[in-house]
Each structure stands twice: as C-alpha cells, then as structure tokens.
A and B are shown apart, each in its own frame.
Chain A
Amino acid sequence: MGKRVGVEVSIAAADAVGMANVDVVAAYPITPQTHIVEHLSELVANGELDAEFIPVESEHSAMSVCCGSSAIGARTFTCTSSQGLALMNEIVFIAASLRLPIVMILANRSLSGPLSIWNDHTDVMSVRDCGWIQVFTETGQDVFDHVMWAFRVAEDPQVSLPVIVNMDGFILTHVIEPIEFWEPDMVRKYLPDFKPVNVLDPDKPTTVGGFGMPGIYTEAKMAQNEALIQSKSHILKAWQELGEVTGRHYQPVETYRTEGAETVFLTMGSTGDTVAMAVDELRSQGRPAGLIKLRLWRPFPFDELRRAAKDVKRIIVIDRAVSYGGPGGPVASEIRSAFYGEKKMPAVTNFICGLAGRDVTPDDYIAIYAKSEEMVTGRVRQEDYVFYGVRE
C-alpha cells in the first residue's frame, strides 16, 4: 500500500507523471491546468525528475513537440484546457493517426465565448472524434491512478494510441483530497519501460506522416478505427491489473445503487459524486433511482452500458456541453444511439446543466428527476432536451 496524503489534485497528478518516469513534458500553462505544468517544471528544475521540460510558445507547438518526442521513443506528457486544446486541435488529430502514445491530462473547462475559465465538458466534446482513447475521472485518486493507467494503455504495443485523461477544472484540479501515492515498486510492477512500435532512427529511415491519396485514405481510417476499437481489451486488462496493484477496481461503466432502479442518472466526471447524494435521498423517499457513470468515453463501451441499463426504464443524461442546433447534449446523443434498435429501449431524457462552473446541487438533481418523470408521461423525442436552471 502506498502512502495516503492530503494534497491538491493537480500536484498529485504532476507527481504521478513524475513517478511514471516521463521523459519529455511539453506544455503551455492555461487555467485551470496551470498547477500541473508548474509543478512538473519545478520537479525538473529541482533535479527531482530527470526529464526534458520544453516550454513552448503555444499549445499547437506543445502537441507538435509531443509528436516529435513520442516518435523518437520518449515517454511523453502534456496537459491543457479549453482554448489550449482548441489551439492544438490540428495536431491532436495527427497524434492519433500516427499512433503516438502521448498522455494528456485535459483539465476540463468551457470554451469561449463568452470567455470563461470554469468547468464543463465543452472542450473535450470538441475533440470527441479525434481518435484518442478518452477517459473521465471522478476523484483525485482516480486522476492519480489514471495517469499510470494512461501510460500503460497508450504504450501497450498492441494499442499504441494517445490517451486523454479528463479531470474537471477547479472541482478536481484545485481541491485538496486524500490521495494514496503509489510506492515506486508498484509503478515498476505496473508500468513497463516504453518500447515504441515505430521509432525514428537515422540508421533505419522511415516515412512518418506521409500523404494518403483517395486510393488509400479510407483504408488508413479503417485501420485507425479498428485500432481504437481493439484497444478495449487492453484497456480492461490494464484496469484489472491496476486493481491487483492498488485494490481499486475501475470499469468502463460504473454503477451506484442500480439494483432495482427504474430510473438512472448518467454522468461523466466529478458530477457523479453529487448525483450519488441525490440518488441516496431519492432512495430514502422510496423512489427507484440509480446512477450510471461513464468512465470510458472512447472507445465507447456499448456492451457494458447496455448491460448496466438492461432493467432500466428511463435514463436521465446529464450533459455538460451543447451540440448547438443538434440533438441537445453530445452524451445523450450517444446514449440514444447505443440503445436504438435494442429490444428494450429506455426513454432518454436529456438535461444540459453545470455549464461554465454553475453549481448544480443534489437538490437540483432531485428536481431534474421530477422533471424527467413529467417528461416521460408524453413522448420524448430527440430534440426534447432541457437547459436546466436557465432563467426565462
């Protein structure tokens, strides 16, 4: 067992990256990710971490540096938020198509405008289809564990894909939580040395990032999509072995009080904790409420989700981003797709809330539960989503 300490989650995340013996960190500071980068910079400057810290002039450069360093076989980390992710967007897609196992923490924050530094999931939804493995964390401990897990999965030669670890800005980045640090021998046991599938080597020249004509592009995309789908079994194995090392068992879809539940909330990230309090209250009132937490976002865990919700009549999807002019929230859209054509299709009601750090309390979720109940008395169509709490 590792030592349990009270520490700001950002500092713990940076320490985890250091303990993972990262070789290159290239990042540009942006709220609310700043403390992670600052602490990594400090560790390198103090000689506590033998790594290259490359201060870049923008996030576009940060991700470009990461691609270069990962391609030569260096264990590579970066982290960003919001506008930073938007600026590096072009290279984010390239990293996945080149199958470079970079690990990135995304301290989730809304996108401008209006300009906002606070937490929601607008930033990550803008790269939903970027080809990276994407995972959400709920607590500081989740974040620490998933830094190790991310390097382990990304660098698995059968996977060789970049990984985004989402952590909610401020709600996770800036709070102090009790976190169990791994012992060095746990890290050694869990995380093997990085042996890249491809490596840039002057003695064995290769072409990386070549162009693809119409005759080959479709095949390239099929190969990339299959790689992401097939990464699933390795993701599950890495969680299983993480459980053996730490005693903490993570799943692509996690449930809370779903036994006998007719209505479940569906959340991603730190919201799960608050909704669990609402579920407890609803249960104490005799209402059949439960909670499904989606931890793995890409590759999307279709089977696990269907299993978790097999006896459920109604799903309340909490979305923390908007698909403007589209199906409401991006998460609800995917949940509906997962159940479309299934024998038992639960009614999906969609609530967009907690945008740009607006507080949503357990009482709000109880109100959402009641509103959802009212909605399903009629026909719930795709476009029937609710901006919860909006002043009208």
Chain B
Amino acid sequence: MAKPIKSETDLNWKDLEVGCVVSDAGSASQYKTGDWRSMRPVVDKSKCIRCGVCYIFCPDMAIGKTAEDYFEADLYYCKGCGICAQECFTGCISMVPEEE
C-alpha cells in the first residue's frame, strides 16, 4: 500500500529543490493516480477463477493478490481504465461509477 505522503499542495515554492529535482528515488510510487478514476472495478468473487489475467493486463500494475489468492485493484493507484474488466475471461469484473 502507498505510504502516507505530504500532498503536493502542502508544499510552497521555497520547499522545492533547485531545478525541481526530486532526491527521493522511487517517489513516483507515492503519486496518487486513484483520484483520476470515474469508474471503479468491482469483482464478483463467485465468478472469479483467480487466473490473474487482470493482473497481467493492468497498465499501471495496480492489481495485486489478496490473502485469499484473489486479485484486487489498489484504489490508491487504479485509474479506472477498465482494461481488467475488458480482458477478464469470466466477466467477473464490472466497472461501477464512482459516487460524488
């Protein structure tokens, strides 16, 4: 899961490093892309065969394995593109509109 981060909107211009260099390697992992989402993937576990095709096709590597070996999107990163739902063999993933 993503670490809690200081939001970019908490930074003022004096906090930025010279040339906007980012010294912490791997900081892109802290970047929240989940708030781009308008549709969220919801898995019907009764139809899921745990094949992992959704995990393979997710362009953001946002899908991981749960303790019960199901596959689930990390909503901190998931942009709601719907590729997982499109590729799923059994049709167990449906894209549900996010509410306000």
Q: Which residues of A contact B (CB under 8 A)?
A: 97-100, 160, 197-198, 204-208, 210, 212-213, 215-216, 218-220, 222-223, 226-227
A selection of 21 A-B contacts at a CB cut-off of 8 Å is A97-B19, A97-B20, A98-B19, A98-B20, A99-B18, A197-B19, A198-B18, A206-B21, A207-B21, A207-B27, A210-B20, A213-B8, A215-B8, A215-B9, A216-B11, A218-B13, A220-B16, A220-B20, A222-B13, A223-B14, A223-B20
Residues in A neighbouring B19, C-beta threshold 8 A = 97-100, 160, 197-198, 208
Residues in B neighbouring A206, C-beta threshold 8 A = 21-23, 25
In the bound complex, CA of A219 to CA of B17 (Å): 11
B46 contacts partner chain A, Cβ-Cβ < 8 Å: no
B66 contacts partner chain A, Cβ-Cβ < 8 Å: no
Residues in A neighbouring B21, C-beta threshold 8 A = 198, 206-208
Residues in A neighbouring B12, C-beta threshold 8 A = 219
Residues in B neighbouring A210, C-beta threshold 8 A = 20, 22
Q: Are A219 and B27 in contact (CB under 8 A)?
A: no
Closest to A210 in B: B22
Residues in A neighbouring B23, C-beta threshold 8 A = 204, 206
Residues in B neighbouring A220, C-beta threshold 8 A = 13, 16, 20
- With A206-B25, A207-B27, A223-B14 as given contacts, are A212 and B9 in contact (CB-CB < 8 Å)? no
Q: How many A-B contacts at CB < 8 Å in the complex?
A: 55
Closest to A225 in B: B13
In the bound complex, CA of A145 to CA of B12 (Å): 38
Closest to B12 in A: A219
- In the A-B complex, the 7 residue pairs with the closest CB atoms: A99-B19, A207-B22, A219-B13, A222-B13, A205-B25, A215-B8, A98-B19
In the bound complex, CA of A100 to CA of B18 (Å): 10
Residues in B neighbouring A216, C-beta threshold 8 A = 8-9, 11, 16
Interface size on B, residues (CB 8 A): 19
Which of B8, B11, B19, B27 has the most chain A CB atoms inside 10 A of its CB? B19
Q: Are A197 and B18 in contact (CB under 8 A)?
A: yes
Interface residues of B in 7-59 (CB under 8 A from A): 7-9, 11-23, 25, 27-28
In the bound complex, CA of A99 to CA of B16 (Å): 12
In the bound complex, CA of A100 to CA of B19 (Å): 8
Residues in B neighbouring A227, C-beta threshold 8 A = 18
Q: Shortest Cβ distance from B34 into chain A, in angstroms? A: 14
Q: Shortest Cβ distance from B91 into chain A, in angstroms? A: 35
Q: Shortest Cβ distance from B19 into chain A, in angstroms? A: 4
Q: Are B11 and A219 in contact (CB under 8 A)?
A: yes
In the bound complex, CA of A210 to CA of B11 (Å): 16
A sample of 13 more A-B contacts (CB under 8 A), given A213-B8, A223-B16, A223-B20, is A97-B19, A99-B19, A198-B18, A198-B21, A206-B21, A206-B22, A206-B25, A207-B22, A208-B21, A210-B20, A210-B22, A220-B13, A223-B13
Q: Are A226 and B18 in contact (CB under 8 A)?
A: no
In the bound complex, CA of A223 to CA of B14 (Å): 7
Residues in B neighbouring A197, C-beta threshold 8 A = 18-19
Residues in A neighbouring B27, C-beta threshold 8 A = 207
Residues in A neighbouring B18, C-beta threshold 8 A = 99, 160, 197-198, 227
Residues in A neighbouring B15, C-beta threshold 8 A = 219
Closest to A95 in B: B19
Residues in B neighbouring A99, C-beta threshold 8 A = 18-19
Residues in B neighbouring A208, C-beta threshold 8 A = 19, 21
In the bound complex, CA of A87 to CA of B27 (Å): 33
Which of A99, A207, A213 has the most chain B CB atoms inside 10 A of its CB? A207
In the bound complex, CA of A222 to CA of B15 (Å): 11
Q: Shortest Cβ distance from B59 into chain A, in angstroms? A: 17
In the bound complex, CA of A208 to CA of B23 (Å): 9
Residues in A neighbouring B28, C-beta threshold 8 A = 207
Q: Are A212 and B20 in contact (CB under 8 A)?
A: yes
